[in-house]
Amino acid sequence: MAEASVSKIALVTGGGTGIGRVIALALLKNAYTVVISGRRPDVLQRAANQLSAETGGAAHAFAADVGDPQAVSALFSTIRRDFGRLDLLVNNAGMGLPAVPMEDITFEQWNAIVSANLTGAFLCTQQAMKLMKAQTPRGGRIINNGSNSASTPRPMSAPYTATKHAIAGLTKSTALDGRLFDIACGQIDIGNASTDMTAKMSGGVLQANGEIAPEPTIPANLVADAVIYMAGLPLDANVLTMTVMATQMPYVGRG
């Protein structure tokens, strides 16, 4: 088989629902073979079947908790065995909490968010770096879902905001450490893309001044389009950070 006809391999964590599913769909439409991971096998397999049927592409499901080192190791071992390489990792898996005063957040809640949002991205990045360094041709790309909270918090969001600020540091460290090995790493910060998670925003969200106000959203496919642009660059070019947001959402100054 000629090299030009070989499909690129992508992994999208949290790929069974929400933004992850939309990104997976866009990658399939752009001739990637896509592995989606998530914690719920039934949801994940149903999504893979639907994505494959919709696009005629190859979507593969692998259930894994990205906060579990053994599960992440098994996920990447399967990718290495089945495909021999990984061209693109999209660290999308994550979770949050409803608005909760900082003093009322439990240790268990804190740990769960750190595990899903930060530890999971680190573990997947670590395994991707190992594979991308060793494969031929060498290199690949990692795109982290940072969220607008990577730079500006919402009220009562300490665990989520802390992890997303940390993702910004992980992105820069990965971009730096990957330079010598043709591994590019960038971050996309998303503001109110329309998914099940953001559906409540039309009904009102807590603002910095204590008011509850509705917020505008954008179609999730616009985020996927941005990911496709970032992924399509040659490995000697990189989008380090990109913000895609509803123009009128309260973000700059959160007001």
In 84-202, which ranges are continuous DSSP H helix? 107-114, 120-134, 158-178
Taking alpha carbons only, the member of 54, 51, 69 closest to residue 10 is 51
> Do the beta carbons of residue 57 and residue 9 sit within 8 Å?
no
Q: Clarify whether 160 is annotated catalytic.
A: yes
Q: Report how far apart, in Å, the C-alpha atoms of 248 and of each of 51, 106, 115, 216, 225 are.
A: 32, 34, 32, 7, 20
User: Cβ contacts of residue 180 below 8 Å, gap of 6+?
Assistant: none
Q: Terminus-to-terminus CA distance in the chain, angstroms?
A: 55
Which residue shows structure tokens 């039309």? 202
Among candidate residues 32, 160, 229, 251, the one labeled active-site is 160
| Enclosing H/E stretch for 243 | strand 241-245
What residues act catalytically?
Answer: 160
